[in-house]
Amino acid sequence: MNEININRIIEMAWEDRTTFDAIKKQFGLSESEVIKIMRNNLKKSSFRLWRKRVSGRKTKHLKILENEGIKTLRFKCSRQKNISNNKIT
């Protein structure tokens, strides 16, 4: 995986409204693989802060969102449409 993709995965993982399912659809990575990338590429304190933020966060998990009536994989980042090679836009 190249540095550009790793940086994009990290950016998407930090976004509160981008689900792990959206990351999986675009990059083919499971939640545990995203966590591993975050652990290997962030400072220890930044990783802990991120894990605390996303643990149990319903907006990061599509199944929980579907239970609330939201059924689409959407990115909330305003820049997402402009990123080349985006498979979901």
Q: What are the sequence ranges of the domains in the chain?
A: 3-74
Q: Which residue has the higher pLDDT, 41 or 54?
A: 41
Q: What is the pLDDT of residues 9-40, one digit of tens each?
A: 999 999 877 888 889 989 999 999 999 999 99
Residues 37-44 have a mean pLDDT of 96
Single-letter amino acid, residue 46:
S
CB 24 within 8 A of CB 73: no
CA distance to 18, 45, 57, 85, 88, per residue, from 26 (Å): 11, 27, 21, 10, 7
- Looking at per-residue confidence, does 41 or 60 come out higher? 41
Q: Which pLDDT tens digit goes with each residue over 61-78?
A: 555 555 555 555 555 555
| pLDDT at res. 16 | 78
pTM for the model stands at: 0.66
